Protein backbone atom coordinates (compact mmCIF):
# COMPACT_ATOMS: atom_id res chain seq x y z
CA UNK A 1 0.00 0.00 0.00
CA UNK A 2 1.44 3.39 -1.03
CA UNK A 3 1.98 6.25 1.38
CA UNK A 4 -0.75 8.93 1.58
CA UNK A 5 -0.83 11.49 -1.21
CA UNK A 6 1.04 14.61 -0.06
CA UNK A 7 -0.96 17.78 -0.76
CA UNK A 8 -0.11 21.45 -0.28
CA UNK A 9 -3.14 23.73 0.19
CA UNK A 10 -2.34 27.43 -0.44
CA UNK A 11 -5.41 29.39 0.66
CA UNK A 12 -5.93 32.48 2.84
CA UNK A 13 -9.62 31.96 3.69
CA UNK A 14 -9.26 30.37 7.13
CA UNK A 15 -12.78 28.94 7.23
CA UNK A 16 -12.25 27.29 3.85
CA UNK A 17 -8.83 26.04 4.96
CA UNK A 18 -10.33 24.43 8.07
CA UNK A 19 -13.11 22.78 6.08
CA UNK A 20 -10.98 21.59 3.15
CA UNK A 21 -8.06 20.34 5.22
CA UNK A 22 -10.43 18.28 7.37
CA UNK A 23 -12.20 16.76 4.36
CA UNK A 24 -8.96 16.00 2.54
CA UNK A 25 -7.36 14.40 5.58
CA UNK A 26 -10.45 12.27 6.03
CA UNK A 27 -9.92 11.12 2.43
CA UNK A 28 -6.38 10.05 3.26
CA UNK A 29 -4.28 13.01 2.10
CA UNK A 30 -1.33 14.27 4.11
CA UNK A 31 -2.09 18.01 4.02
CA UNK A 32 0.28 20.93 4.51
CA UNK A 33 -1.14 24.46 4.64
CA UNK A 34 0.20 27.82 3.48
CA UNK A 35 -1.90 30.94 4.03
CA UNK A 36 -0.05 33.33 1.72
CA UNK A 37 1.82 33.17 -1.57
CA UNK A 38 5.35 33.54 -0.19
CA UNK A 39 4.83 30.70 2.27
CA UNK A 40 3.37 28.59 -0.53
CA UNK A 41 6.38 29.31 -2.73
CA UNK A 42 8.80 28.34 0.02
CA UNK A 43 7.03 25.05 0.74
CA UNK A 44 6.58 24.25 -2.93
CA UNK A 45 10.31 24.68 -3.53
CA UNK A 46 11.59 22.88 -0.44
CA UNK A 47 9.17 19.95 -0.04
CA UNK A 48 7.90 17.18 -2.28
CA UNK A 49 4.16 16.99 -2.98
CA UNK A 50 1.91 14.86 -5.16
CA UNK A 51 -0.51 17.72 -5.85
CA UNK A 52 -0.95 21.42 -5.04
CA UNK A 53 -4.23 23.29 -4.51
CA UNK A 54 -3.63 27.02 -5.00
CA UNK A 55 -6.04 29.93 -4.59
CA UNK A 56 -5.89 32.55 -7.34
CA UNK A 57 -5.95 35.59 -5.04
CA UNK A 58 -3.42 35.39 -2.23
CA UNK A 59 -1.73 37.96 0.02
CA UNK A 60 1.93 38.60 -0.61
CA UNK A 61 2.17 36.77 -3.93
CA UNK A 62 -0.70 36.14 -6.35
CA UNK A 63 -1.49 32.51 -7.15
CA UNK A 64 -0.60 32.94 -10.84
CA UNK A 65 2.75 34.51 -9.92
CA UNK A 66 3.38 31.75 -7.39
CA UNK A 67 2.70 29.08 -9.98
CA UNK A 68 4.85 30.79 -12.58
CA UNK A 69 7.79 30.88 -10.18
CA UNK A 70 7.40 27.21 -9.30
CA UNK A 71 7.30 26.22 -12.96
CA UNK A 72 10.32 28.38 -13.78
CA UNK A 73 12.26 26.41 -11.17
CA UNK A 74 11.38 23.02 -12.61
CA UNK A 75 8.66 22.16 -10.10
CA UNK A 76 6.28 20.00 -12.16
CA UNK A 77 3.88 18.92 -9.41
CA UNK A 78 0.26 18.89 -10.70
CA UNK A 79 -1.65 22.00 -9.62
CA UNK A 80 -5.37 22.61 -9.19
CA UNK A 81 -6.20 26.31 -9.03
CA UNK A 82 -9.20 27.39 -6.93
CA UNK A 83 -10.74 30.77 -7.49
CA UNK A 84 -13.87 32.89 -7.47
CA UNK A 85 -12.56 34.50 -10.69
CA UNK A 86 -14.29 32.35 -13.28
CA UNK A 87 -14.12 34.32 -16.52
CA UNK A 88 -12.53 32.76 -19.58
CA UNK A 89 -9.67 35.27 -19.35
CA UNK A 90 -9.00 34.28 -15.73
CA UNK A 91 -8.98 30.57 -16.58
CA UNK A 92 -6.64 31.11 -19.52
CA UNK A 93 -4.23 33.11 -17.31
CA UNK A 94 -4.16 30.33 -14.74
CA UNK A 95 -3.64 27.57 -17.29
CA UNK A 96 -0.97 29.57 -19.14
CA UNK A 97 0.90 30.00 -15.86
CA UNK A 98 1.10 26.23 -15.54
CA UNK A 99 -2.07 25.10 -13.75
CA UNK A 100 -3.21 21.60 -14.68
CA UNK A 101 -6.84 22.16 -13.72
CA UNK A 102 -9.09 25.04 -12.66
CA UNK A 103 -12.09 24.92 -10.30
CA UNK A 104 -14.34 27.95 -9.71
CA UNK A 105 -15.77 28.70 -6.27
CA UNK A 106 -18.27 27.68 -5.05
CA UNK A 107 -17.65 24.05 -5.94
CA UNK A 108 -18.88 20.62 -4.93
CA UNK A 109 -16.53 18.62 -2.71
CA UNK A 110 -17.12 15.46 -4.75
CA UNK A 111 -15.92 17.24 -7.88
CA UNK A 112 -12.85 18.59 -6.09
CA UNK A 113 -12.02 15.10 -4.82
CA UNK A 114 -12.40 13.55 -8.28
CA UNK A 115 -10.19 16.16 -9.90
CA UNK A 116 -7.50 15.75 -7.26
CA UNK A 117 -7.47 11.97 -7.70
CA UNK A 118 -7.04 12.45 -11.46
CA UNK A 119 -4.15 14.88 -10.95
CA UNK A 120 -2.42 12.56 -8.50
CA UNK A 121 -2.67 9.68 -10.97
CA UNK A 122 -1.35 11.93 -13.72
CA UNK A 123 1.59 12.88 -11.53
CA UNK A 124 2.63 9.23 -11.34
CA UNK A 125 3.12 9.24 -15.11
CA UNK A 126 5.17 12.42 -15.31
CA UNK A 127 8.54 11.56 -16.84
CA UNK A 128 10.09 14.95 -17.52
CA UNK A 129 13.68 14.12 -18.38
CA UNK A 130 16.25 16.37 -20.01
CA UNK A 131 19.28 14.76 -21.59
CA UNK A 132 22.73 16.35 -21.37
CA UNK A 133 25.16 14.24 -23.36
CA UNK A 134 25.15 10.87 -21.62
CA UNK A 135 23.57 12.30 -18.43
CA UNK A 136 19.89 12.91 -17.65
CA UNK A 137 18.05 15.41 -15.46
CA UNK A 138 14.98 13.87 -13.80
CA UNK A 139 12.48 16.61 -12.89
CA UNK A 140 10.24 14.50 -10.67
CA UNK A 141 13.10 13.43 -8.42
CA UNK A 142 15.32 16.51 -8.88
CA UNK A 143 18.17 14.14 -9.62
CA UNK A 144 21.01 14.00 -12.10
CA UNK A 145 21.66 10.55 -13.54
CA UNK A 146 25.25 10.25 -14.70
CA UNK A 147 26.47 8.07 -17.57
CA UNK A 148 27.38 5.19 -15.27
CA UNK A 149 23.94 5.16 -13.64
CA UNK A 150 24.85 7.05 -10.46
CA UNK A 151 22.06 9.41 -9.40
CA UNK A 152 22.84 12.61 -7.50
CA UNK A 153 20.04 14.45 -5.70
CA UNK A 154 19.95 18.24 -5.89
CA UNK A 155 18.17 20.83 -3.79
CA UNK A 156 15.28 22.63 -5.51
CA UNK A 157 17.23 25.76 -6.41
CA UNK A 158 20.30 23.80 -7.47
CA UNK A 159 18.15 21.76 -9.82
CA UNK A 160 16.31 24.82 -11.14
CA UNK A 161 19.59 26.56 -11.94
CA UNK A 162 20.98 23.51 -13.72
CA UNK A 163 17.72 23.03 -15.62
CA UNK A 164 17.78 26.62 -16.93
CA UNK A 165 21.39 26.24 -18.10
CA UNK A 166 20.74 22.80 -19.63
CA UNK A 167 17.57 23.88 -21.44
CA UNK A 168 19.67 26.21 -23.64
CA UNK A 169 23.18 24.78 -23.40
CA UNK A 170 24.75 27.19 -25.90
CA UNK A 171 23.43 30.31 -24.15
CA UNK A 172 25.56 32.41 -21.83
CA UNK A 173 23.43 33.80 -19.00
CA UNK A 174 24.41 36.88 -17.06
CA UNK A 175 24.19 36.75 -13.29
CA UNK A 176 21.32 39.23 -13.43
CA UNK A 177 19.37 37.02 -15.86
CA UNK A 178 19.83 33.95 -13.68
CA UNK A 179 18.82 35.85 -10.54
CA UNK A 180 15.62 37.05 -12.25
CA UNK A 181 14.82 33.58 -13.58
CA UNK A 182 15.75 31.29 -10.69
CA UNK A 183 16.15 33.44 -7.56
CA UNK A 184 13.51 36.11 -8.02
CA UNK A 185 13.18 37.00 -4.35
CA UNK A 186 16.94 37.33 -3.81
CA UNK A 187 18.18 40.94 -3.51
CA UNK A 188 21.67 40.37 -4.93
CA UNK A 189 23.22 38.48 -7.87
CA UNK A 190 25.79 36.95 -5.53
CA UNK A 191 23.28 34.18 -4.81
CA UNK A 192 23.93 32.91 -8.35
CA UNK A 193 27.64 32.45 -7.59
CA UNK A 194 26.74 30.62 -4.39
CA UNK A 195 24.57 28.08 -6.20
CA UNK A 196 27.07 27.63 -9.01
CA UNK A 197 29.53 26.68 -6.26
CA UNK A 198 27.01 24.18 -4.84
CA UNK A 199 26.51 22.57 -8.27
CA UNK A 200 30.24 22.32 -8.88
CA UNK A 201 30.76 20.79 -5.45
CA UNK A 202 28.21 18.05 -6.19
CA UNK A 203 28.79 17.48 -9.91
CA UNK A 204 32.34 18.66 -10.58
CA UNK A 205 33.81 22.01 -11.59
CA UNK A 206 33.17 21.30 -15.27
CA UNK A 207 29.38 21.29 -14.91
CA UNK A 208 29.10 25.11 -15.16
CA UNK A 209 31.46 27.15 -17.33
CA UNK A 210 32.36 30.69 -16.40
CA UNK A 211 32.46 33.08 -19.35
CA UNK A 212 34.63 35.83 -17.96
CA UNK A 213 32.89 39.19 -17.94
CA UNK A 214 29.65 37.69 -19.28
CA UNK A 215 28.25 35.10 -16.90
CA UNK A 216 27.67 31.35 -16.92
CA UNK A 217 26.76 28.60 -19.36
CA UNK A 218 26.33 24.86 -19.17
CA UNK A 219 29.52 22.86 -19.04
CA UNK A 220 29.81 19.08 -19.13
CA UNK A 221 28.58 16.17 -17.04
Q: Output the DSSP codes for 2-45.
A: PPPPEEEEE---HHHHHHHHHHHHHTT-EEEEESSHHHHHHHHH
Asked whether residue 40 carries a pLDDT value surpassing 90, the answer given is: yes
Q: Are residues 116 and 204 in the same domain?
A: no
Q: What is the mean pLDDT of the chain?
A: 85
φ/ψ region of 98 (left if φ > 0, alpha if ψ in -120 to 50, else beta) reads left
Statement: residue 94 has pLDDT above 80: no
> 124, 147, 178 — which closes off a domain?
124
182 or 191: which leads in pLDDT: 191
The pTM of this model reads: 0.60
Task: Please determine, for residue 73, whether its predicted confidence score (pLDDT) is greater than 70.
Answer: yes
Same domain for 140 and 105, yes or no, is no
**Rounded Cα gap, residues 115 and 110, in angstroms:** 9
CATH number where 25 lies: 3.40.50.2300
Q: Are residues 162 and 144 in the same domain?
A: yes
**Domain check: are 16 and 50 in the same one?**
yes
Q: Do 105 and 168 reside in the same domain of the chain?
A: no
In contact, 51 and 116? CB cutoff 8 Å: yes
- Geometric angle at alpha carbon 95, from 89 and 99, rounded to 5°: 140
Does residue 1 form part of some domain? no
* 190 shares its domain with 137: yes
> Where does a domain end: 66, 101, 124?
124
Residue 96 has pLDDT above 50, yes or no: yes
pLDDT at 161 over 70: yes
Whether 141 and 196 share a structural domain: yes
Which helix (H) or strand (E) segment holds residue 127: the answer is none
Total domain count for the chain?
2
Domain hosting 203: range is 129-218
Are both 116 and 161 inside the same structural domain? Answer: no
Q: Are residues 20 and 119 in the same domain?
A: yes
**What pLDDT is stored for residue 25 in this prediction?**
92
Last residue of a domain, one of 124, 159, 191: 124
pLDDT recorded at residue 1: 40
What CATH number should be reported for the domain holding residue 139? Answer: 1.10.10.10
Amino acid sequence: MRDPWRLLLVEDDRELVTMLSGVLRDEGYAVDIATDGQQGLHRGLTRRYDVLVVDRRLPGLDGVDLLGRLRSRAVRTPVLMLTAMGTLHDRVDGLDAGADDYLVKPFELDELSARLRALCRRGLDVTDVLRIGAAHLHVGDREVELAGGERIALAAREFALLWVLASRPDTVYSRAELRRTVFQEAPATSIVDTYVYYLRRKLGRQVVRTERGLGYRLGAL
